[in-house]
Amino acid sequence: MISPFFRKKDAKEQQHDPGAEPMVPQASPEGGSAESDLAVAVEDSLSSTPFMANKSNLDKKSLDLVFAVEQMIQARQHAEINIYELQDRLNHSSGHIERLSRDLKNLNKVIEEREKSILEFEQKLIEKNLKVDQVIEDYRELQSTLSSEIDELKSVIDLEQQKYASLVQTHNEANAEKMKKINEMEERIGRLEVENSHVKQKYENVRQEKAYLSNMISDFTSRMSIPIGQNKNNRND
């Protein structure tokens, strides 16, 4: 059987070669490979004998048979050429498919490595997120603890400030009382100094009077102890 591809190809060849003989339709090879074997045998016999050179001596049936055999030979040649071309295309396609398979395998390997790297990165990211969550939780607990401690310290500071204010007030009152007592003492000391100066003056006056009186008594006593004659002499002297 001649494929449509070869029919079109033969039709084009006949258009280019007007002297070529028209193609005779072939029968369908439903009877197996016997017809192909017959065509091969006829081709060998025709190529080995000078039968093809003498077509003018043949009758119409023989010519039809010769034409049919020639068509079968041409179809077989075209089929072989087509098979060779298809085989080349198949080989090329097989090589290309093999290369694509290798590329696909390499690509799958790269994808697996990338997926492995992505999984590792995801695992590291999960671990880092867990650490971050733990740090955030610790920070919240620390913040809560510090807030409680700060509140307690504020209460203690307020209490200490109240105590300090009370102590300052007590200190100020004590200073005021102390200054009051100091002023009173200074005033008293001033009065005592004045009184002391008066007493000293009186004492000095009394001492002078006592010394004067003592001298007078001593003089009187000394005079009274001397005899009268001596007193007269003394008076004359």
Q: Is residue 234 part of a domain?
A: no
- What is residue 210's predicted lDDT score, i.e. its pLDDT? 87
pTM of the predicted structure, to 2 decimals: 0.36
- Dihedral angle sign, alpha carbons of residues 76, 81, 87, 89: negative
Q: Under 8 Å CB-to-CB from 234, ≥6 apart: which residues?
A: 226
The single-letter code of the amino acid at 115 is E
- Distance, in Å, from the CA atom of 63 to the CA atom of 57, rounded to the nearest integer, reads 9
- Helix then strand count (H, E) for the chain reads 4, 0
Q: Is residue 56 part of a domain?
A: yes
Q: Is residue 198 part of a domain?
A: no
Question: pLDDT tens digits, residue range 139-183?
Answer: 999 999 999 999 999 999 999 999 999 999 999 999 999 999 999
12-16, 91-95, 179-183, range with greatest mean pLDDT: 179-183
Q: Which of 53-62, 93-102, 224-233 has the lowest mean pLDDT?
A: 224-233
When divided into structural domains, the chain yields a total of 1
Q: Is residue 119 part of a domain?
A: yes
Q: Is residue 3 part of a domain?
A: yes
- What is residue 2's predicted lDDT score, i.e. its pLDDT? 42
Q: Is residue 145 part of a domain?
A: yes
126: which 2 tokens? 């999960």
Q: Is residue 222 part of a domain?
A: no
- What is residue 43's predicted lDDT score, i.e. its pLDDT? 52
- Give me the domain span that covers residue 112: 1-159
- Distance, in Å, from the CA atom of 46 to the CA atom of 39, rounded to the nearest integer, reads 10
